[in-house]
Structure 1
Amino acid sequence: MIEDVEPGKAWDAMKADPRAQLCDVRTDAEWNLVGIPDLQEIAREVVLIPWQVYPSMQRNAGFLGQLAEAGLARDTPIYFICRSGARSMAAAEAASAAGYTEVYNVADGFEGPLDPDGHRGQVAGWKAAGLAWRQR
C-alpha cells in the first residue's frame, strides 16, 4: 500500500533527506501553464516525467525507464505528485511494482480539489499549503 503524504510533510522529508526526490507526473502542458514545485531552497530540481502523454492522455510507456534515466535508484525515496493525487498514486504503484522500495504519493497533489467556485489551488495540495512553486 502506497502512503499518502501531506504536501508539508513531503517537503519536510525532502529537506531532511538529501536523497529524497519529488517526481511530478503531470503533463508538459500542466508544467508550462500551471507551474511546478520550486525546490531551490533545498538545492534540488523537480524530476519531470509525465505519467500520461498530452494530448492523447495515454499512459507513458517509457515511464519506468525514464525514472531510471533520471538517476532515481530503486532505494531512492520518491514523492510522486500530480494535479490532485490520482495519477501520482498510479505512478507510485507502478514504481513500487517495478521494485522501487520507498515511494509515496503527495496527497491532493499540486492543485488539490475544486473549491466551491470550481477553482483549484485554494483548498488543499502543494499550492494551498503555501509551498514554493514557480511558472516554467
Structure 2
Amino acid sequence: MQHLSPKEADAFLQTHPDAVFIDVRSEMEFLFIGHPKDSIHIAWNEFPDWDVNPHFLAQVRRATSVDRPLVLICRSGNRSAEAGQFLEQHGYSEVYNVLHGFEGPLDDHHHRGSLSGWRFEGLPWEQC
C-alpha cells in the first residue's frame, strides 16, 4: 500500500479517472461531519460496536474491480490503512491510503481539523 498526503491524493484522483475513492468512516461521520467530494461510502467498521463490517469486501467488490486503483480515506488515516491492508490481502494491488485522513490528528486541545487532513488542506468536500 502506498500512502499519499491529502494534496497528493487529490492530484492522483485528478490524473487517474479510473480510481475509486472510498471513505471508510462510519455512516454518521460520512453524513454529518462531511466527506470528500466524489467519494463513495463503504464503512470499514460501524457504530455502535465498531466491529469490522462483515460485508466490507463484498461492498468494495460491487463498487470496483481488483484492476482499478483504490484511494481510501478515514478520519485520521488509521482505519483506511487497516482497510487497505485487508484489501491487499484479498487481491487488490493498487491501494492508496490518505495520510491524516479527512480531519487529521488531535491538536493540543483534543480537536481535529486544525493541524492537517483533507478538509484542513481546503480540498473539495461536501456535507449531506
- Normalising to structure 2: TM-score of the pair? 0.96
Are 1:75 and 2:67 counterparts?
Answer: yes
Deviations for 1:10-37, whole angstroms, at most 9, x for unmatched residues? 1101101110121000000111221111
Letter in structure 2 aligned against 1:87:
R
TM-score by length of 1: 0.91
Tell me, which stretches of 5 or more residues in structure 2 are unaligned?
A: none
Is 2:8 aligned against 1:9? yes
What is the match of residue 115 of structure 1? 107
For residues 62 and 47 of structure 2, the distance between their equivalents in structure 1, rounded to whole angstroms, comes to 21
SS of structure 2 residue aligned to 1:104: strand
Q: What residue number does 1:135 align with?
A: 127
Per the alignment, residue 42 of structure 1 pairs with none
Overall identity of the aligned pairs, in %: 40
Paired positions, count: 128
Determine the structure 2 residue equivalent to 1:36.
35
Partner Cα separation in structure 2 for residue 94 and residue 58 of structure 1? 14
Runs (5+) with no aligned partner, structure 1: 39-44
The corresponding residue for 1:49 is 42
CA deviation vs aligned residue, 1:50-84 (integer Å, no higher than 9, x gap) = 000211111001101100111x1101111110000
Does 2:39 correspond to 1:66?
no
**What do the CA deviations read for 1:78-135 (whole angstroms, capped 9, x no partner)?**
1110000110000000111100110011000000001222211110110111101111
